[in-house]
Amino acid sequence: MDMDTPTTSQPNGSGDHDMIEEVRADVVEINQGGAGLVQAESVSISQGGAQVVEAKNLSISQGGILSANAETANLDASGAAILNADTVHLNSASALFAVADTVESDSGSRIGILLAGTIEGDPNVRIDARTAAIIGVSATVTLFILKRLFSRS
Quick: pLDDT tens for 81-135: 999 999 999 999 999 999 999 999 998 899 998 889 899 998 888 877 778 778 8
Q: What is the C-alpha separation between 67 and 78, in angstroms, rounded? A: 13
Please give the Cα distance from 138 to 82 (Å, whole number).
Answer: 25
Tell me the three state secondary structure of residue 21.
strand
Q: Is the pLDDT of residue 47 over 90?
A: yes
Facing residues of 113 across strands?
A: 97, 127
In the three-class reduction of DSSP (H, G, I as helix; E, B as strand; rest coil), residue 63 is classed as coil
Bridge partners of residue 97, in order along the sequence: 82, 113
Least confident span in 16-20, 54-58, 93-97: 16-20
User: pLDDT category, 14, cuts 50, 70, 90?
Assistant: very low
pLDDT at 15 over 60: no
**Among 11-20, 68-77, 108-117, where is mean pLDDT lowest?**
11-20
Domain boundaries, the chain: 8-128
Averaged pLDDT score across all residues of the chain: 86
Residue-level pLDDT at 105 = 92
pLDDT value at 29 more than 90:
yes
Residue 153 has pLDDT above 70, yes or no: no
Please name the helix (run of DSSP H) or strand (run of DSSP E) that holds residue 129, with its range, or none: helix 129-151
SS3 110: strand
